[in-house]
């Protein structure tokens, strides 16, 4: 069975807009829950003049109080920016509020200004990350914890209460390069593969992740983050989604993350992004892309970003969640796509 989650848009422009965005995200999480999605994830970004949610954990706590069954996750928390004991405590509380629905997605981070804001150096991010992961895991599972590392020293500390999930909430690790694949295989419960990579390169890297996980006796799970949208026709889906996804890819181009062969922002167009990178179109189109990614990569969990700061609007996203839940998800839940008897 393939599982599906929603990667939410977390890009307000002001405090007033954040209040409205939280209302929209709450409605979208409830809609996703109603129509059979397995999870709902929120993002984290810092130092954005136009606004970007810097603190996902309070939002997850709010969503936990307004949903019942859907799992809730960070997509992703920039782990080196958190003290791991504080992160373990906050996440344990969210797991309790949600009655065991938390998924902690974490990544290294990459923007120097974010680290500088916390008095940290981006060059230290790997050691901060790896020590942080170990401390969070042990804080959730051990009564008393002592730790002596390069970045953290702890003596006989205790995190209470413990999370609801046993032995602990799952930790998904995001990453792009070969070292990130190995790291996810060593210490993660799943690889959260980013939305920019195309099948050929992603296949090689997910194979490396699986090899590393299996060599450590860990279960490998590939969670594929994709951008996408569903409408009655492919033309309608492209029309609604094109501007939003293009604006997001240009954001990452400006921050030096992707498409660095492109010299001018306007040269990064929808054609360059490519339909093969997206899950976009009619329900049948979306199902075909999911099957293709599943066959090529072996992904059995898809996180889909239906909404970007530049659109589509909330009402269109609500309709897309309904349509995806009614006409796409059942194709991967029941034999030959048959609906469950009612």
Q: How far is CA 305 from CA 150, 170, 182, 245, in A?
A: 37, 21, 26, 9
Is the pLDDT at 94 greater than 50? The verdict is yes
**DSSP annotation of 106:** E
What was the pLDDT predicted at 19?
A: 85
Domains defined for the chain, CATH in brackets: 3-75+170-337 (3.20.20.30)
Cα–chain center distance at 336: 29
161 CB-near residues (< 8 Å, 6+ apart): 92, 96
Placement of tokens 């709902």 in the chain: 40
How large a percentage of the chain has pLDDT more than 90? Answer: 77
| Weakest-pLDDT range from 24-38, 266-280, 326-340 | 326-340
Plot region of 326 (φ>0 → left; ψ -120 to 50 → alpha; else → beta): alpha
Tell me the mean pLDDT in the region 246-254.
86
60 phi and psi, to 5 degrees? -60, -40
Q: Where are the alpha helices (DSSP H) in 120-233?
A: 125-141, 178-187, 199-215
Residue 342: predicted pLDDT: 30
Q: Per the structure block, which two tokens stand in for 41?
A: 């994830």
**pLDDT, tens only, 114-165:** 999 999 999 999 999 999 999 999 999 999 999 999 999 999 999 999 999 9
Q: Is the peptide bond before 161 cis (omega within 30 degrees of 0)?
A: yes
- What global pTM score does this model have? 0.94
Listed in sequence order, the residues at least 6 apart from 201 whose beta carbon sits closer than 8 Å to its beta carbon are none
Is residue 315 pLDDT above 80, yes or no?
A: yes
Q: What is the pLDDT of residue 338?
A: 47
Q: What is the pLDDT of residue 257?
A: 67
At 42 the three-state DSSP class reads strand
Neighbours of 99 (CB within 10 A): 12
What would the two tokens of residue 205 be? 């890297």
Across residues 79-104, what is the average pLDDT?
99
* Whether the predicted pLDDT of 16 surpasses 70: no
Residue 318 main-chain phi, psi, to 5 deg: -60, -40
- Per-residue confidence (pLDDT) for residue 339, from 0 to 100: 46
Q: How far is the C-alpha of 114 from the C-alpha of 107, rounded, in Å?
A: 13
CA–CA gap between residue 224 and residue 262 (Å, rounded): 25
Q: Which residues contact 255 (CB under 8 A, 6 or more apart)?
A: 111
Average pLDDT over residues 298-305: 96
């Amino acid at each position: 069975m393939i599982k599906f989650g929603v990667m939410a848009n977390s890009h307000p422009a002001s405090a007033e807009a954040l209040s409205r965005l939280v209302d929209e995200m709450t409605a979208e999480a409830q809609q996703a829950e109603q129509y059979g999605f397995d999870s709902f994830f929120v993002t984290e970004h810092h130092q954005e003049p136009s606004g970007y949610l810097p603190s996902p954990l309070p939002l997850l706590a709010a969503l936990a109080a307004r949903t019942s069954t859907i799992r809730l996750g960070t997509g992703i928390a920039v782990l080196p920016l958190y003290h791991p004991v504080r992160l373990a405590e906050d996440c344990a509380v969210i797991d309790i509020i949600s009655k065991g629905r938390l998924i902690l997605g974490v990544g290294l981070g990459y923007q120097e200004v974010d680290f500088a804001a916390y008095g940290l150096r981006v060059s230290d991010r790997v050691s901060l990350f790896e020590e942080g992961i170990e401390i969070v895991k042990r804080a959730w599972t051990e009564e008393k914890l002592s730790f002596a590392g390069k970045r953290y020293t702890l003596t006989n500390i205790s995190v209470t209460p413990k999370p609801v999930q046993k032995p602990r909430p799952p930790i998904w690790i995001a990453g792009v390069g070969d070292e990130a694949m190995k790291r996810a295989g060593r210490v993660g419960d799943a690889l959260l593969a980013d939305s920019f990579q195309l099948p050929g390169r992603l296949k090689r890297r997910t194979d490396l992740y699986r090899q590393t996980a299996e060599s450590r006796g860990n279960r490998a799970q590939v969670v594929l983050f994709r951008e996408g949208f569903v409408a009655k026709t492919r033309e309608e889906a492209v029309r609604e989604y094109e501007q939003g996804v293009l604006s997001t890819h240009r954001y990452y181009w400006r921050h030096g993350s992707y498409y660095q062969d492109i010299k001018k922002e306007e040269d990064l167009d929808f054609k360059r992004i490519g339909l093969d990178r997206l899950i976009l179109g009619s329900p049948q189109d979306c199902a075909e892309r999911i099957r293709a990614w599943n066959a090529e990569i072996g992904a059995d969990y898809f996180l889909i970003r239906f909404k970007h700061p530049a659109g589509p609007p909330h009402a269109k996203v609500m309709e897309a969640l309904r349509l995806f839940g009614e006409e796409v998800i059942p194709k991967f839940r029941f034999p030959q796509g048959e609906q469950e008897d009612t």
